Amino acid sequence: MRGLFAPVKEETTAYEMAVTGRIPEELDGRYVRNGPNPLGVDDPAAYHWFSGDGMLHGVRLRGGRAEWYRNRWVRSDAMAMRLGEKILHGPRHLDMDFAPNSHVTRFAGRLLALVEGGSLPYEVDAELDTVGPFDFAGTLPGGLAAHTTIDPDTEELHCVAYCWAWPYVQYLVVGTDGRVRRRVDVPVDGRPMMHDFSLTERHVLLYDLPVVFNPGGVGVGPSFPYVWEPGRPARLGVLPREGQAADVRWLEIDPCFVFHPMNAYETEDGSGRIVVHLVRYERLFAKGRTGPDGAPPVLERWTVDLRAGRVHRERLDERPVELPRVDPRRLTLPHRYGYAVLESADSDLRAARFPGIERMGCGLVKYDLERGTSEVRRFTSQGGVGEAVFVPAGPDAAEDDGWLLAYVHAPERDATDLVILAARDITGEPVARVHLPVRVPVGFHGNWIPDRE
Ligand SMILES: [Fe+2]
């Protein structure tokens, strides 16, 4: 609730923002990012960052100009009431009412704010105003997920949904007509938190890890119902894309937690192996529920050997990173490059300002996973560097020929810049900095929503 995490108190609309540098003309669309921004928290000590009402922050780019910035709360019923507005009636799952705070994506012509755990996504319009909860024309059995993958080949949406009330997790495929066309309920024990999944050309990977639903369990402080369960086995499930629950192969792995895989793909050497790049935590919510704790999260390469039934782990970097992304055209396919936020813990100032927060985003890393090299761009030692989204320069541009877009806090004006970096020159000066009139609190994920697909 404090410092760069502090929620903003109002919705802002600003036009024609000042820009340092030059916005590429090819960037014709909107950059939109979601994150928690609670309104009306009764007891800040009990507030958990993951549970704050979602607020979208968007910047409209066109013709080399930054036409507007908007931040908008997602109007769940509770949020509409708090703002003194009419409730937007719509479908619900298990009577849950939550303003999605985790991600935003466009699919089947609709812009959707996303969250996991069982409540529905919300549709918003081109100016980020809420349309209402969305259940894919009644075809969505429960909630959706924070993380979805749009297969660049078929353009279908895939995800794994989970819910505290379900003794299974649910693999979903939504067709390009916007209707759920496939659903596989995979039984799991103990209601694990499954924040993301991986998709390859032929398989779906399920991360069944020892963070489980336990609202009454040990741990004091903020109310968040998931906690580390010591001794619980960890396993990776491998489901053929068109398979059923009985076809899942479960491979035992070392206990850990994974919020975010970067990408996964089938090897092309005929060995039948799957490669996953991901950010791995040794432990999560083991000491308390305030947030990531324990050893810092690091980038690893997992090689899944289906014949031997083993997962081989390889650490690729010692530095803490999070929020990994790739070129969306390479999702499910072999990729050479990846991007992530570099977290840093080297600031006493930060420790003083955010007790309990061990690390904050201070820079961006570009990985060349083929060569095993990386480049780093540091922005600030005080945190406030958000997820970087890669936008290709054109439909046929090479894998790293494009731009990285990220919200970066500018401490000198206590406001946020939308920073645009050339992905081939991340150590160079940003191509452009769009100076937003307000601060964008530290948040989660976003996407570039082009005007033309
Ligand atoms: Fe996430």
Look at residue 371 and give its three-state secondary structure: coil
- What spacing in Å lies between the alpha carbon of 18 and ligand 1's midpoint? 31
Helices vs. strands in the chain: H and E counts, helices first: 2, 32
- What spacing in Å lies between the alpha carbon of 278 and ligand 1's midpoint? 12
**Whether the Cβ atoms of residue 134 and residue 120 lie closer than 8 Å to each other:** yes
Q: Give me the mean pLDDT over the 265-285 stretch.
A: 93
- What spacing in Å lies between the alpha carbon of 116 and ligand 1's midpoint? 9
- What spacing in Å lies between the alpha carbon of 213 and ligand 1's midpoint? 18
Higher pLDDT, 347 or 247: 247
- Please check the confidence at residue 220 and state whether its pLDDT lies above 50: no
Q: What is the pLDDT of residues 80-112, one digit of tens each?
A: 999 999 999 899 999 999 999 999 999 999 999
- What spacing in Å lies between the alpha carbon of 172 and ligand 1's midpoint? 18
Closest CA to 386 of 103, 29, 53: 103
Rounded to the nearest angstrom, the gap between the alpha carbon of residue 212 and the centroid of all alpha carbons in its chain is: 20
Q: Give me the mean pLDDT over the 100-129 stretch.
A: 97
Residue type, 46: A
- What spacing in Å lies between the alpha carbon of 146 and ligand 1's midpoint? 6
- Please check the confidence at residue 292 and state whether its pLDDT lies above 70: no
- What spacing in Å lies between the alpha carbon of 228 and ligand 1's midpoint? 18
- Please check the confidence at residue 137 and state whether its pLDDT lies above 50: yes
Q: Give me the mean pLDDT over the 100-126 stretch.
A: 97
**Residue 434 main-chain phi, psi, to 5 deg:** -95, 120
The alpha-helical segments, DSSP class H, found in 335-386 are 348-353
- What spacing in Å lies between the alpha carbon of 195 and ligand 1's midpoint? 6
Q: What is the pLDDT of residues 153-202, one digit of tens each?
A: 999 999 999 999 999 999 999 999 999 999 999 999 999 999 999 999 99
Angle at 72 between CA 406 and CA 381, to 5 degrees: 30
Q: Which fold has domain 3-450?
A: Neuraminidase (2.120.10)
Q: Where are the domains of the chain?
A: 3-450
- Please check the confidence at residue 223 and state whether its pLDDT lies above 80: no
Of the listed ranges 3-7, 293-297, 383-387, the one predicted with least confidence? 293-297
Question: How far is the C-alpha of 192 from the C-alpha of 207, rounded, in Å?
Answer: 9
**DSSP-assigned letters across all residues of 168-197:** EEEEEEE-TTSSEEEEEEEE-SS-B-----
